[in-house]
């Protein structure tokens, strides 16, 4: 995500089911990389873990703690 508005727009489109799949992967990778996924509802963490498990997203880097 390049700007905060990109992130917010993607979150809104994810919530309403209109976020394209490629953007969904980018959104969740951003949430994982920034650690925001741990601050959101459990649903986000579960989806992020599934995406990591199937290789569509990568685990957080050690410095993201």
pLDDT band at 61 (very low <50, low <70, confident <90, very high): confident
Residue 2 pLDDT > 80, yes or no?
A: no
Say how far apart CA 40 and CA 6 lie, in whole Å: 17
Q: What does the block give as tokens for 49?
A: 């873990």
Structural domain harbouring 29: 4-64
Mean pLDDT of 13-18: 97
Per the structure, the count of domains in the chain is: 1
What's the full length of the chain, in residues? 65
- As to burial, measured by CB atoms within 10 angstroms (0-12 exposed, 13-18 middle, 19+ buried), residue 27 is buried
State the pLDDT at residue 64.
47
Give pLDDT tens digits for 23-50.
Answer: 999 999 999 999 999 999 999 999 999 9
DSSP assignments along 1-29, one per residue: --SHHHHHHHHHHHHTT---HHHHHHHHH
């Amino acid at each position: 995500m390049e700007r905060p508005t990109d992130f917010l727009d993607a979150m809104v489109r994810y919530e309403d089911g209109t976020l394209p799949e490629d953007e969904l992967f980018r959104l969740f990778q951003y949430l994982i990389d920034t650690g925001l996924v741990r601050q959101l509802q459990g649903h986000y963490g579960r989806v992020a873990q599934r995406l990591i498990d199937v290789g569509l997203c990568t685990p957080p880097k050690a410095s993201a703690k």
